[in-house]
């Protein structure tokens, strides 16, 4: 009979733990090597972009619509047709866009770095200030936190809700503290929860009245078109337009890339922002490069044609990864829900599922899983300084393993969760009995 672990007697729990240990041992003997750590597309997903390799060949005309020869130097901010395509993907006008190189994370790093060394729009460079702080919605994306940590920026966690960051806290902190210069946001299908910011959240962002004149919202819309379902998709209000309406057109830097659309590491990244911000950024960029990879930009344009081509392409991704997300949820629902252990999100897009283990258990679960060959994202990684105060959150990345490997990995994961939790409850029972 299925019973909530908390309602089990000591003897029942001991029996359950013995069964779990036996199951765990069986997995140990299997000598597995499975990885659910990073949000990487699987082989099949990469295969659907192979046509891009044929979009250009040695017979191709590598001229842009305006006659620019893509084989040569030049065009600092990207070819026009790439701006049109990526603009449509980001829901921004081509004139608000700079096309960069192969990684949006790189653009985010550069953006922080530029503010740090040279300041934003005539404000004091952050390196000359005693204190610079960033708000970090948690759980969040470890690589965002790594950038701000690298620059010695103090990170302040702000709780996420299914509607986005707790805006009461964001509004209060941003309006009172001039040393708060930015906030990391993944507004659609967030990493790791798969939450999308509500209309009200986006409007409240646009209406922020920061104490710092150089406060910027770092709006990383990495998963803007990464839906899992045709008929049930999240929708996000466009932030640049909303900031403009609210009278703060310069308050946001918006990032995106085709990393999880074509080839991660060989896609194209872009920044969308106000014309004022663009002008300042281009003045710096001209000292950094003569221009990014236009051949790759052209290849993407010729492969997709337009945004409709891109949307069709995303349906192929969804067809591959949807069953994986559903398998993860099915196993969590089957193995943990009846025992009332943990909580998890049910994303409609993006790349991750966020799992909250009972408090104090995440590290031990990830360690246990690792010892039987299942690699998860490190516990704590979803928090600034890798410090999850509840030691509870674990990010699940379902896309990379094959469906059968994923099922095995998840079955092991749920055994580890139950094992660690049963162990914890038993220890608590013993301690209470001794007290």
Ligand X SMILES: Cc1ncc(COP(=O)(O)O)c(C=O)c1O
For the CB of residue 220, give the shortest distance to ligand X in the complex, in Å: 5
For the CB of residue 373, give the shortest distance to ligand X in the complex, in Å: 23
325 neighbors 403 (Cβ within 8 angstroms): no
Please report the DSSP string for 386-400 in residue order: G--TTS-EEEE--SS
Interface with ligand X (CB under 6 A), residue from 269, 301, 369, 379: 269
Residue 264 found at the interface with ligand X (CB under 6 A) = yes
Interface with ligand X (CB under 6 A), residue from 45, 96, 103, 393: 103
Q: How many residues bind ligand X (CB under 6 A)?
A: 13
Binding segment for ligand X (CB under 6 A), chosen from 97-105, 236-244, 355-363, 426-434, is 97-105
171 neighbors 149 (Cβ within 8 angstroms): no
For the CB of residue 157, give the shortest distance to ligand X in the complex, in Å: 17
For the CB of residue 267, give the shortest distance to ligand X in the complex, in Å: 7
From residue 434, how far is each of 165, 427, 428 by CA, in Å?
Answer: 42, 11, 10
Q: Which of 302, 246, 385, 415 is nearest to 52 (CA)?
A: 302
In the three-class reduction of DSSP (H, G, I as helix; E, B as strand; rest coil), residue 343 is classed as strand
Residue 141 found at the interface with ligand X (CB under 6 A) = yes
Site for ligand X in 171-230 (CB under 6 A): 186, 191, 220, 222
What is the chain's Cα-based Rg? 24
Please report the DSSP string for 193-254 in residue order: T-----HHHHHHHHT---SSTT-EEEEE-TTTT-BS-SSS------HHHHHHHTT-TTSEEE
Q: Give the separation between CA 290 and CA 173, rounded to whole angstroms.
A: 40
Interface with ligand X (CB under 6 A), residue from 39, 41, 349, 398: 39
Beta partners for residue 270, in sequence order: 99, 256
Nearer to ligand X, 264 or 291 (CB): 264
Binding segment for ligand X (CB under 6 A), chosen from 206-214, 256-264, 335-343, 355-363, is 256-264
Q: Give the separation between CA 204 and CA 171, rounded to whole angstroms.
A: 8
Q: Give the separation between CA 171 and CA 337, rounded to whole angstroms.
A: 36
Binding segment for ligand X (CB under 6 A), chosen from 100-108, 244-252, 280-288, 367-375, is 100-108
Interface with ligand X (CB under 6 A), residue from 49, 104, 345, 354: 104
Beta partners for residue 218, in sequence order: 184, 253
Binding segment for ligand X (CB under 6 A), chosen from 22-30, 257-265, 284-292, 321-329, is 257-265
Q: Where are the alpha helices (DSSP H) in 260-396?
A: 275-285, 294-304, 307-335, 362-371
Nearer to ligand X, 248 or 262 (CB): 262
Cα torsion through 100, 106, 112, 113, rounded to 10: -90
Residue 137 found at the interface with ligand X (CB under 6 A) = no
Nearer to ligand X, 186 or 425 (CB): 186
417 neighbors 365 (Cβ within 8 angstroms): yes
Q: Give the separation between CA 415 and CA 434, rounded to whole angstroms.
A: 28
In this structure, the chain runs to a length of: 435
Nearer to ligand X, 8 or 270 (CB): 270
Nearer to ligand X, 13 or 269 (CB): 269
Binding segment for ligand X (CB under 6 A), chosen from 101-109, 196-204, 379-387, 426-434, is 101-109
For the CB of residue 281, give the shortest distance to ligand X in the complex, in Å: 17
At what angle are helices 104-118 and 142-150 packed, to 10 degrees?
Answer: 20
Residue 335 found at the interface with ligand X (CB under 6 A) = no
Nearer to ligand X, 141 or 339 (CB): 141
Residue 376 found at the interface with ligand X (CB under 6 A) = no
Nearer to ligand X, 361 or 396 (CB): 396
Binding segment for ligand X (CB under 6 A), chosen from 25-33, 103-111, 200-208, 244-252, is 103-111
For the CB of residue 142, give the shortest distance to ligand X in the complex, in Å: 9
Binding region for ligand X (CB under 6 A)? 39, 103-105, 141, 186, 191, 220, 222, 257, 259, 264, 269
């Amino acid at each position: 009979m299925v019973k909530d672990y908390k309602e089990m007697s000591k003897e029942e729990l001991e029996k359950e733990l013995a069964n779990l240990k036996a199951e765990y041992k069986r997995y140990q003997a299997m000598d597995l090597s499975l990885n659910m750590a990073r949000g990487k597309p699987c082989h099949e997903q990469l295969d659907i972009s192979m046509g891009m390799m044929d979009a250009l060949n040695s017979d191709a005309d590598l001229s842009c619509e305006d006659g620019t020869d893509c084989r040569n130097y030049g065009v600092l901010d990207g070819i026009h047709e790439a701006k049109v395509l990526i603009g449509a993907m980001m829901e921004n006008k081509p004139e608000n866009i700079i096309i960069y190189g192969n990684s949006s994370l790189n653009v985010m790093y550069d953006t922080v770095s530029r503010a740090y060394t040279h300041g934003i729009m005539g404000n004091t460079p952050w390196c000359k200030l005693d204190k610079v702080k960033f708000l970090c919605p948690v759980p969040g994306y470890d690589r965002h936190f790594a950038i701000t940590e690298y620059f010695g920026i103090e990170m302040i966690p702000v709780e996420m809700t299914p509607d986005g960051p707790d805006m009461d806290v964001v509004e209060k902190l941003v309006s009172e503290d001039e040393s708060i210069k930015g906030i990391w946001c993944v507004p659609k299908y967030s990493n790791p929860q798969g939450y999308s910011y509500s209309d009200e959240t986006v409007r409240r962002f646009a209406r922020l009245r920061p104490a710092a004149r150089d406060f910027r919202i770092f709006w990383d819309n990495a998963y803007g078109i990464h839906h899992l379902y045709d008929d049930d998709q999240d929708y996000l209000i466009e932030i640049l337009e909303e900031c403009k309406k609210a009278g703060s057109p310069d308050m946001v830097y918006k990032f995106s890339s085709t990393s999880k659309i074509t080839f991660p590491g060989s896609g194209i990244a872009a920044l969308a922002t106000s014309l004022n911000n663009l002008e300042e950024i281009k003045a710096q960029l001209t000292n950094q490069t003569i221009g990014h990879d236009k051949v790759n930009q052209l290849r993407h344009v010729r492969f997709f044609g337009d945004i409709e081509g891109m949307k069709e392409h995303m349906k192929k991704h969804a067809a591959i990864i949807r069953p994986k997300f559903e398998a993860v949820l099915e196993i969590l629902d089957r193995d943990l829900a009846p025992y009332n252990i943990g909580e998890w999100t049910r994303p409609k897009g993006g790349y991750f599922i966020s799992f909250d283990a009972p408090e104090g258990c995440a590290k031990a679960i990830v360690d246990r899983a690792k010892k039987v060959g299942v690699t998860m994202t490190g516990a704590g990684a979803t928090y600034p300084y890798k410090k999850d105060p509840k030691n509870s959150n674990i990010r699940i990345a379902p896309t990379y393993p094959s469906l059968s490997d994923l099922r095995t990995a998840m079955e092991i994961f749920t055994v580890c969760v139950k094992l660690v939790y049963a162990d914890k409850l038993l220890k608590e029972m013993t301690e209470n009995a001794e007290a």
